[in-house]
Structure 1
Amino acid sequence: MTEPRVPGGRGAELELPCGRTRRVRTIDLGMREFDCPCGDTHATVMDVHPSERFLPEFLVEVLREAIETTSEEMPEFGTPHLMGIVTEEFPDAVATADVSDDGEIGCGIVWVTDFDARRLHEVVVELVVELMEHAVSHAEDDSLLTEFESQMLDFDVSAFVDEYRAQRDLSEEDVFV
């Protein structure tokens, strides 16, 4: 018996940013990226992946304390919010599938990006820095913004990502990273 191809259900196919399609069930929890027949490598993220995949634990805690979410399903800042920021900034570079109806996948949301996993990591860090700068700009103390901007002049996103990934020892076998 064939399975129906309903959005998010069994047999669901996701239209990738490159225009190709991929069965959602071929994306597993440990997959960070895959080589596509289009010739590019696409990063994959699931809502169950921890935010620490991209950011140090202390920063994730600060973001959770500072950012109020309005979602009952996702009451705490996390990976879905990070990927929401990426999707908002790069809407044509992110494909999303709600797979919450398919209990065999192990997650509720899947994102596939036009970026490879390393570039996605950089994009997330860049956008979080912009978010932090925006928050600091609302402070009543102009010296805070000046200090933050001064520190960001010395911050190298690429070097941070290299160091963070090395510290996390991200290998192909790692799950949730």
Structure 2
Amino acid sequence: MAEPRVPGDDPGTLELACGETVHARDIDMGMRDVRCDCGERHAVVVDVHPVSRFVPESIADVLRETIETADEFPEFGIAHVMGIVLEEFPDEVAVADVSEDGSIGYAIVWVTDFDSRRLHETVVELLVELMEHAASHGDSDTASAFEEQMLEFDVEAFVEQYREQRDFESEVDTPV
């Protein structure tokens, strides 16, 4: 017999910042955005997405090699990226742990108040800040060189070019 539930106690239900709800079962691993009843599109990220969804694999490799994790994840990955986003925008990110539901296909899902393009720009900005912070702990020449390069870095142009190369309109995209 089915067990009665209190509305909102289903771990697969995400309460979005816009006030609407979406269930993890309605989110496919290939989705980048979900069209919401509020009329907006919200970015979707699941734990099986690679960091290279946002930055080239070579940068994702450097992040994995240089950042030591102090949690259950063996290396820096999408959960850490989304943790940084969640820390910066706690009221704009809904997250659900659906690891107990084997029919879904992933364990964690994040849905942001902003669309996938804005999320992409936000992630790149936050990763650049993380790398600037790391570079500042190195020698001063390296830190200065990195800071100079970042002054010329155009996040919007990078995201535009990267999204073109990755062909996010297709369901099957591959790392650059």
Give how far 1:39 is off. Answer: 2.0
Structure 2 residue identity aligned to 1:93:
E
Using the size of structure 2 for normalisation, the TM-score is 0.91
Q: Would the aligned equivalents of 2:167 and 2:173 in 1 still touch at CA under 8 Å?
A: no
For 1:61 and 1:78, the matched residues in 2 are separated by 10
Structure 2 residue identity aligned to 1:155:
F
Structure 2 residue identity aligned to 1:165:
R
Q: Which residue of 1 aligns with 2:53?
A: 53
Q: Which residue of 1 aligns with 2:112?
A: 113
Instruction: State how many pairs are aligned.
Output: 172
For 1:4 and 1:105, the matched residues in 2 are separated by 21
Percent sequence identity is: 62
Q: Which residue of 1 aligns with 2:23?
A: 23
Q: Does residue 138 of the first structure (1) align with residue 137 of the second (2)?
A: yes
Other structure's SS at 1:112 match: strand
Q: Which residue of 1 aligns with 2:82?
A: 83
The 1:148–1:14 alpha-carbon spacing in structure 2 relative to 1, beyond 3 Å, is same
Q: Does residue 37 of the first structure (1) align with residue 22 of the second (2)?
A: no
Give how far 1:2 is off. Answer: 5.0
Q: Does residue 152 of the first structure (1) align with residue 150 of the second (2)?
A: yes
Structure 2 residue identity aligned to 1:127:
L
Q: Would the aligned equivalents of 1:50 and 1:176 in 2 still touch at CA under 8 Å?
A: no
Give how far 1:7 is off. Answer: 3.8
Q: Any gaps of 5 or more consecutive residues in structure 1?
A: none
For 1:82 and 1:100, the matched residues in 2 are separated by 19
For 2:60 and 2:54, the matched residues in 1 are separated by 9
